[in-house]
């Protein structure tokens, strides 16, 4: 129901300036209820967030207990709280991939900014201050703050803010086999081509000026749940190691269980990243929380110097958010929910292929675990895409909403390749009949 913004009733400035969004009044399990009384199945868990659904008494209880103990702790240098300490211990138990330290912030974008700053500070502390360049990927998204946007190859989100965006970032091609792998090219040849391109970029910049390569392990909104071609991240890790740069993996959207393992990189045959961002499923949306994980090398490097992080936020490691996330992570572990993610992911894959795989404009169905996308093509046989102005995926999202299904559409013009897709990332607790 388009409205002229000047007559919109809400005092909240919504993202959609031209119309008022519908009010959600309650939620339970994987569905939520609109003000009109309509019940909507949340097949994308918001933007891939509400992994335990929209109401979880155990998490509510953990939040209340935390508020009864202490509402707010300033996690600057003098204080911390039990909830943050326990959450970090829970996530980093057994040092997955060598990750040993966690910083908790409020949003994914803050986590990306923190990761970029920590990488920069690390190289200052280890005596390589010239390493200020970052290499990221085209058609990528790592957040909306200006640092995060600087490493995001997302044309329409960057467009207005170019004067604020860092010039220290260059972009290479993403690993996107459906559209970018040559017809006669094998996976190995494709990986080799991307590896050479990355290496060329290191050499062009001067390898001793590169701080890190930044990528999502499984690309989320910009390309649509694209798992990397086997061997891709091994090749990337090799190049980073060869030139002494850090590997920063963004698992804000694809991580914390969504692909069937706690961390998506566990399926890539690499030892792990140097720095990793997490968010969304970390706290399941009960209270905002994201984070940055560091491996031993990065922590030791940082600790060599002033012993102070030149970074922090008033609300970092908020006790209520950490208590909620701790409850979420404990439920995921206790109930073996990742096994369910794998089983339901297989079910979703089969259903998508059987039910819609044959339809006229379905080009590709891809994903992992409970993180799936359908990419639409004007002509799937010739891989002729819809153009952004066809607005195809947003029309699908609207029709689905009318039918009572919430799914995510694409993020507008993200780069040269027009990608029309929808994402299904249902809560981990979803059942077959749902």
Element (H, E) at 406: strand 405-406
**Residue closer to ligand PLP (CB basis): 291 or 301:** 291
**Residue closer to ligand PLP (CB basis): 250 or 420:** 250
E-assigned strands of 140-254?
A: 169-172, 210-216, 246-251
**Residue closer to ligand PLP (CB basis): 176 or 202:** 176
Enter the tokens of residue 320: 């209520």
Site for ligand PLP in 245-284 (CB under 6 A): 250, 252-253, 279
Report the C-alpha gap between 350 and 346 in whole angstroms: 6
Report the C-alpha gap between 34 and 13 in whole angstroms: 20
Give me the least distance between CB of 380 and ligand PLP, in Å please. 26
Enter the tokens of residue 334: 């206790």
Q: Does 406 bind ligand PLP (CB under 6 A)?
A: no
Among the listed ranges 105-113, 157-165, 177-185, 415-423, the one in contact with ligand PLP (CB under 6 A) is: 105-113
The position carrying tokens 């030149």 is 310
Member of 109, 139, 150, 320 binding ligand PLP (CB under 6 A) = 109
Give me the least distance between CB of 277 and ligand PLP, in Å please. 7
Q: How many residues bind ligand PLP (CB under 6 A)?
A: 17
Order of all β-strands in the sheet with 210-216: 99-105, 290-295, 275-278, 246-251, 210-216, 133-137, 169-172
**Residue closer to ligand PLP (CB basis): 142 or 237:** 142
Strands 290-295, 133-137: pairing is unpaired
299 Cβ partners below 8 Å, 6+ apart?
A: 100, 101
Site for ligand PLP in 191-220 (CB under 6 A): 216, 220
Enter the tokens of residue 211: 């701080």
Report the C-alpha gap between 292 and 302 in whole angstroms: 14
Member of 66, 107, 121, 276 binding ligand PLP (CB under 6 A) = 107
Q: Does 221 bind ligand PLP (CB under 6 A)?
A: yes
Report the C-alpha gap between 25 and 207 in whole angstroms: 53
**Residue closer to ligand PLP (CB basis): 301 or 318:** 318
The position carrying tokens 């967030």 is 49
**Residue closer to ligand PLP (CB basis): 147 or 301:** 147
Specify the 3-state DSSP secondary structure of 379. Answer: strand
Site for ligand PLP in 36-75 (CB under 6 A): 47
Residue nearest to ligand PLP (CB): 108
Member of 142, 263, 318, 413 binding ligand PLP (CB under 6 A) = 142
Member of 41, 122, 141, 392 binding ligand PLP (CB under 6 A) = 141
HSE at residue 76, side-chain half, CA atoms within 13 A, is: 3
Among the listed ranges 2-10, 107-115, 337-345, 390-398, the one in contact with ligand PLP (CB under 6 A) is: 107-115
Q: Does 349 bind ligand PLP (CB under 6 A)?
A: no
Binding site for ligand PLP (CB under 6 A): 47, 107-109, 112, 141-144, 216, 220-221, 250, 252-253, 279, 290
């Amino acid at each position: 129901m388009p409205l002229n913004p000047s007559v919109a009733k809400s005092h909240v400035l919504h993202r959609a300036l031209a119309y008022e969004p519908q009010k959600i009044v309650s939620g339970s399990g994987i569905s939520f209820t609109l003000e009109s009384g309509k019940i909507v199945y949340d097949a994308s868990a918001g933007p891939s967030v509400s992994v335990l659904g929209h109401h979880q008494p155990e998490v509510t209880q953990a939040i209340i207990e935390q508020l009864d103990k202490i509402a707010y702790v300033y996690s600057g240098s003098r204080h911390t709280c039990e909830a943050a300490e326990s959450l970090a211990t829970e996530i980093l138990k057994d040092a997955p991939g060598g990750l040993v330290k966690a910083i908790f912030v409020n949003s994914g974008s803050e986590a990306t900014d923190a990761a970029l700053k920590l990488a920069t500070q690390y190289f200052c502390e280890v005596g390589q201050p010239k390493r200020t360049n970052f290499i990221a990927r085209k058609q990528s998204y790592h957040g909306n703050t200006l640092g995060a946007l600087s490493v995001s190859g997302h044309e329409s989100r960057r467009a207005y803010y170019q004067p604020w965006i860092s010039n220290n970032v260059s972009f290479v091609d993403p690993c996107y086999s459906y559209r970018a792998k040559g017809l006669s090219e094998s996976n190995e040849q494709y990986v080799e081509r991307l590896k050479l391109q990355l290496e060329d970029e290191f050499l062009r910049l001067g390898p001793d000026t590169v701080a890190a390569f930044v990528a999502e392990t499984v690309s989320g909104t910009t390309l649509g749940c694209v798992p990397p071609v086997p061997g891709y991240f091994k090749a990337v890790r090799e190049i980073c190691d060869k030139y002494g740069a850090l590997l920063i993996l963004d698992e804000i959207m694809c991580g914390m269980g969504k692909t069937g393992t706690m961390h998506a990189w566990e399926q890539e045959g690499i030892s792990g990243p140097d720095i990793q961002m997490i968010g969304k499923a970390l706290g399941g949306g009960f209270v905002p929380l994201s984070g940055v994980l560091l491996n031993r090398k990065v922590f030791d490097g940082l600790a060599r110097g002033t012993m102070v992080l030149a970074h922090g936020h008033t609300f970092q490691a908020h006790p209520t958010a950490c208590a909620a996330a701790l409850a979420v992570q404990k439920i995921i572990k206790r109930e073996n929910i990742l096994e369910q993610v794998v089983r339901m992911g297989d079910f979703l894959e089969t259903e998508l292929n059987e039910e819609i795989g044959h339809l006229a404009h379905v080009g590709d169905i891809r994903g992992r675990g409970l993180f799936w996308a359908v990419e639409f093509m004007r002509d799937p046989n010739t891989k002729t895409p819809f153009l952004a102005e066809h607005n195809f995926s947003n029309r699908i999202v609207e029709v689905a909403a009318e039918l009572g299904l919430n799914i995510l559409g694409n993020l507008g013009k993200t780069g040269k390749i027009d990608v029309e897709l929808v994402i299904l990332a249902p809560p981990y607790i979803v059942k077959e009949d749902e």
